[in-house]
Structure 1
Amino acid sequence: MKKTILLFYFFILLWNPFQSTAQTYGQNGMVVSSNTVASQVGVAILKKGGNAIDASIATAFALAVTHPEAGNIGGGGFLVFRKASGEATTIDFREKAPLAASPNMFLDGNGKLIENSNHDSAKAIGVPGTVAGLYLAHQKYGKLPWRELVQPAVDLAQKGFTMPWGLYFQALSYTDTYKSNEFLANYFKSDTAKITKPGELWKQPALAQTLELIRDKGQDGFYKGEVAAEIENFMKKNGGIITKKDLEKYIAVERKPIKGTFKGYEIYTMPPPSSGGTALIEMMNMMELANFDSIPFNSTKYVHLITEVMRRAFADRAAHLGDPDFNKNIPIEKLISKEFAAMRFKNIDKNKASVSDPSKFGQSYDGNNTTHFSVVDKDGNAVSMTYTLEDSYGSKMGSDKLGFIFNNEMGDFNPVPGVTTTDGQIGSAANIIAPEKRMLSSMSPTIVAKNGKPYLIIGSPGGRTIINTVFQTVLNVLGYDMPIDKAIEAMKIHHQWLPDTIVYEKNLLSPDTKVALEKMGHQLQEIDTLGELMGITYLEAFKVYVGVSDSSSPDGGAAGY
């Protein structure tokens, strides 16, 4: 009887015409990313005998070609790797401040922030980390030759790939918006003088040449030689401060993951300079104390409670978190402890909103355009990786000779030392600019294990909202027993302590709940969507992985086999 019920459930999963987003199944491996072509590149590597790290490297380089708004070799990010044996580790390839950086570099003579200078200038470009991070992951844990992992991206850039509609709409918008930006105005053109149209091949010969150097010389193909020389030359011409010395000195770092538990599940996620892992575990610890039977999903009680949980975690984020190589006393163990969560949970008023006090805590700015992918191989090795350019298309700047876009990650530092305001500008010391320091991030690549095996591999883009979209998705699966597609598509909210506002997804929060929350003292703001989650879960009964790409990602997709 039990087997019959399980088979019926599996049939419904496969054939339900009312599913909110498509599911992909694979018994031997799965890749879910923001671009279907890149996911297929990753699966091809798995089929050749590569492991999850190999597939991640190939997928990441492919995304640098097919998903230029966030896929990159001009940015940085984080990778969480859980081996089939249960051992877990992380690779930190977050961008660094250049050697010439200083705490006041974006301030005028009166100590005021020069408007948008930390986002919209060449000085906002941090030293890229992506190539070094992928190379370190390969050297330590890869299986196939490096050349085989980079070659698919070279082919995509050199031979071209079919322009999808989602990317085409972006191309039209950005080309029109940035007419005076010669690099971006010509970026989406291929063999003709016009923007590549859907159905046509978009070729990127300059990027192909850069990728060939990386393929042939490893990370030295990026951080030394002609690419490094051209990066320095570009910076000198455009007011940037990155030099060849900055590039030569850049290293990716392997770090011990943040680990937590929730009702018997094991959660592995990213440590600082990502703030995502610490905040995620702190919030999951608080929610473990809640009575889910009395808090219906999407109810006023639910939205109020998770708002208050978010508020406390983001306040702690602002007060304590930054680059651990520059902040030796970050109280991580305290922040992720069950005891600390109990103290934080205890002072939540179940009927009234708390007040966010900018004189005590705060949170830094994060851009909204990042990309995430999740990977698992036939042996159960799992990777959750998030990387970014910061804003969509980063700094909007790049060299025609190199073919890639530079980040604008310096904007993730606290720009004005000691000044915290109600609009979200933070001045706490942990994330003040310093030479070679890595800026604080919200990226939250996460792997959940159940009974010693990978159960949920999840992550999202979304800048400052990443932490909360990942948190709610993990909570939906582990706390509310939602299948992965429903958990990803379900209503999300965001509260980051400052500004003191609940951001909610349009049409997904009931009018009655909105009114009730306002009566409790909450302020609310509508937004189109939060996050673009890419997830994999495991159906133990059928020994099959289920991959789901958020429907808000127009070109996203899963590939399995």
Structure 2
Amino acid sequence: MKSLFCFIFVGLLSVNALAEEAGYAKFAAATVHPLATDAASAAYAKGGNAVDAAVAAGLTLGIVDGHNSGIGGGCFLVIRAANGSLTAIDGREMAPAKAHRDMYLKAGKLDDEASKTGALASGIPGVLKAYDLALKKHGRLTLADHLKTAAELAEKGFQMDAVYARKLEATADKLRLFPASASIFLKADGSAFKEGDTLVQKDLAKTYRAIAEHGLEWFYGGEFARKTEEWMKENGGIATVEDFRNYKAVEREPIRSSYRGYEIVCMPPPSSGGVHVAQILNILEHFPIRHFRASSRIHVVTEAMKLAFADRAHWLGDPDFAQVPKGLVDKEYAAELSRKIDLDHATSVPGHNTPPRWEGDIFGKHTTHLSTADAEGNWVALNQTINTAFGSKVVIPGTGVLLNNEMDDFAVQPGVPNAFKLVGAEANSIAPGKRPLSSMSPTLVFKEGQPMLSVGAAGGPTIITQTLLLISHVIDDGMEPNAALAEPRFHHQWSPDELKIETQFDRSTRKRVEALGHKLSESPGFGACQAVMWDDQRKLLVPAHDPRVPGKASGL
């Protein structure tokens, strides 16, 4: 099971019949690590709001869940402020200015490892710029406040849990390639730390404190950027001080769609998640899936997934560089796609379809998961990641900062699968200053103008399908959030043509799905999804934590 993204969600919800699940009057949080949940609650107790809680949890996860995310990576935020305004903040990594579409070709052959490990794997990180923008617009505390608090934990250390230890053991050979990485994450004899061992990150604590004291300029153009450029020059990399200085977090207009009378608010491109959560739900509106037997429901939803992921491979990319059609979330287009679904047989999807007005109506230019909410009505959905486990495996010496390997989220060559077996086309090709496509899907759901559900997930491309399955279970089946998260999952991403399905589904159901023409790839469990709901009867916030992974759901 891979859980490679970090999602932070802040919301205030309104739904009925949640009496069996624990709720909180003022604040709620659910994350993949108890210390991150506690940090969120502590930030709120200090006078912060849900935005502050999200940032506090995110910085903490960069310490205790650092194999998934951190300040060397990127993020997306969807914010619903207490005044009702909606904002989407794009803190996705950017390709360095010297990046080009053939940068991973050596003597005409693709070196696909170079986009995953080492000096050429990293985009310019955006997490800190996005945090700062979110706090300045909607928070009460400062980024410096949160950095100082998190630095204490990095310096003191924490006990490594089973997930961290497992990821570390699996990645140890590549971490050994980089002395600064090995000195932090491996023991003196070169072996990996084990579950229960204390991991201390003093250099990362110093970096957090330096940013708190000197401001973001220390990172984006100052000492950190200089150390990064120096290391890159010595190791064949291309990132420069100027790349860091030029990085900007971008505000974008959220995607607003609907599903069976509920409003869906998602992150726009370069997130593919928001587009395709909305697109798949639009297709499913044409089927009474709540009345289907399990195998038929899996079949129809899978067919909708295939159609959406085929479109993803062709159309999706950074809207500042590629023309991404808004017609992908058009209701009439979804109706057209729904007619391609055969209720009795799996259908081959040879390639993408063509949405309406594709040439002119385009999106404008401009993974640990946690959920938090406050009673004032502030919501923040925050996905953050460094991509695969331990990102590029590179720690810049003396800083403790582990850099991402998000360059692998580009189509390193058109049609070549990335680490998650996703393929892309020209829209997601490499270009200087471009942001790679992402599956991160921070999503808010509203009913009659009021927020009623927050959801997001971790786990590469399964983020998209986890998110839509949770939404469907709540809206179609009237399920409570913890119960919905316990439901078995399935995932299809068009290529490869296989249905990833949890063995929680009984054998007879899986056999019936297989008989419909689907090639099954069985899994004991995958992903990590968190949610928050508002119990309108009890007037309480209800956080929900995925039972597949360690973590904590709590509140005040």
TM-fit CA distance, 1:237: 2.1
TM-fit CA distance, 1:176: 6.3
Q: 1:314 to 1:227 in 2, by over 3 A?
A: same
2:408 to 389, 408, 411: 411
1:493 counterpart = 2:490: yes
Q: Which runs of 5+ in 2 are unaligned?
A: 1-15, 355-366
Aligned to 1:66: 64
Q: C-alpha separation between the residues in 2 aligned to 1:96 and 1:545?
A: 36
TM-fit CA distance, 1:173: 4.5
Q: C-alpha separation between the residues in 1 aligned to 2:501 and 2:311?
A: 22
Aligned to 1:231: 228
2:517 to 512, 515, 521: 521
Letter in 2 for 1:331: P
Aligned to 1:457: 454
1:301 counterpart = 2:296: yes
Letter in 2 for 1:499: P
Aligned to 1:356: 349
Letter in 2 for 1:265: Y
- Paired residues of 1:41 and 1:58 also in contact (CA < 8 A): yes
- Paired residues of 2:17 and 2:537 also in contact (CA < 8 A): no
Q: C-alpha separation between the residues in 2 aligned to 1:236 and 1:197?
A: 34
Letter in 1 for 2:279: E
Letter in 1 for 2:459: G
1:312 counterpart = 2:312: no
CA offsets 1:446-492 (integer angstroms, 9 cap, x no match): 11123433221111111111101111111111111111012112111
Matched position secondary structure for 2:264: strand
- Paired residues of 1:416 and 1:426 also in contact (CA < 8 A): no
TM-fit CA distance, 1:425: 5.8
2:328 to 327, 335, 344: 335
- Paired residues of 1:26 and 1:560 also in contact (CA < 8 A): yes
- Paired residues of 2:290 and 2:476 also in contact (CA < 8 A): no
TM-fit CA distance, 1:198: 5.5
Q: 1:308 to 1:99 in 2, by over 3 A?
A: same
Greater Cα shift, 312-321 or 411-420: 411-420
- Paired residues of 1:95 and 1:439 also in contact (CA < 8 A): yes
Q: 1:495 to 1:540 in 2, by over 3 A?
A: same
TM-fit CA distance, 1:142: 1.7
Letter in 2 for 1:316: D
TM-fit CA distance, 1:84: 2.7
Aligned to 2:104: 106
TM-fit CA distance, 1:304: 0.6
- Paired residues of 2:473 and 2:479 also in contact (CA < 8 A): yes
Letter in 2 for 1:141: H
TM-fit CA distance, 1:53: 1.2
Q: C-alpha separation between the residues in 1 aligned to 2:424 and 2:60?
A: 37
Aligned to 2:144: 147
Q: 1:194 to 1:509 in 2, by over 3 A?
A: closer
Q: C-alpha separation between the residues in 2 aligned to 1:80 and 1:229?
A: 32
**What is the count of residue pairs matched by the alignment?**
528
Matched position secondary structure for 1:343: helix
- Paired residues of 2:72 and 2:401 also in contact (CA < 8 A): yes
1:80 to 56, 68, 78: 78
Q: Summarize the alignment of residues 437-476 of structure 1 with structure 2, pairs less than 5 Å apart.
A: 437-476=434-473
- Paired residues of 1:178 and 1:185 also in contact (CA < 8 A): yes
Matched position secondary structure for 2:457: coil
Q: C-alpha separation between the residues in 1 aligned to 2:268 and 2:18?
A: 36
Q: Summarize the alignment of residues 202-351 of structure 1 with structure 2, pairs less than 5 Å apart.
A: 202-296=199-293, 299-327=294-322, 329-332=323-326, 334-351=327-344
TM-fit CA distance, 1:424: 5.0
- Paired residues of 1:191 and 1:203 also in contact (CA < 8 A): no
Q: C-alpha separation between the residues in 1 aligned to 2:117 and 2:39?
A: 33
Matched position secondary structure for 1:30: strand
Greater Cα shift, 246-255 or 29-38: 29-38
TM-fit CA distance, 1:527: 2.2
TM-fit CA distance, 1:516: 2.4
Aligned to 1:364: none
Q: C-alpha separation between the residues in 1 aligned to 2:412 and 2:142?
A: 42
- Paired residues of 2:392 and 2:402 also in contact (CA < 8 A): yes
Aligned to 2:3: none
Q: C-alpha separation between the residues in 1 aligned to 2:18 and 2:152?
A: 38
Q: Summarize the alignment of residues 367-446 of structure 1 with structure 2, pairs less than 5 Å apart.
A: 370-417=367-414, 424=421, 426-446=423-443
2:41 to 43, 61, 64: 43
Q: C-alpha separation between the residues in 1 aligned to 2:290 and 2:39?
A: 43
- Paired residues of 2:31 and 2:545 also in contact (CA < 8 A): yes
TM-fit CA distance, 1:194: 8.2
TM-fit CA distance, 1:179: 4.3
Aligned to 2:481: 484
CA offsets 1:409-455 (integer angstroms, 9 cap, x no match): 1011112136789x956352110100000000100011112343322
1:31 counterpart = 2:25: no
CA offsets 1:5-58 (integer angstroms, 9 cap, x no match): xxx9766x25xxxxxxxxx53110112222111111111111222121111111
Aligned to 1:18: none
Greater Cα shift, 489-498 or 352-361: 352-361
Matched position secondary structure for 2:376: coil
Identity across aligned pairs (percent)? 37
1:133 to 130, 141, 145: 130
CA offsets 1:113-169 (integer angstroms, 9 cap, x no match): 224222123211111111111111122222123322222211111222344344344
Q: 1:419 to 1:358 in 2, by over 3 A?
A: farther
TM-fit CA distance, 1:61: 0.9
1:161 counterpart = 2:155: no
Q: 1:551 to 1:400 in 2, by over 3 A?
A: farther
Q: 1:268 to 1:415 in 2, by over 3 A?
A: same
Greater Cα shift, 276-285 or 172-181: 172-181
- Paired residues of 1:86 and 1:452 also in contact (CA < 8 A): no
TM-fit CA distance, 1:65: 1.0
Letter in 2 for 1:552: R
Matched position secondary structure for 2:423: coil
Q: C-alpha separation between the residues in 2 aligned to 1:509 and 1:495?
A: 16
Letter in 1 for 2:91: F
Letter in 1 for 2:426: A
Aligned to 1:90: 88
Matched position secondary structure for 1:533: strand
TM-score, with length taken from structure 2: 0.89
Q: 1:194 to 1:276 in 2, by over 3 A?
A: closer
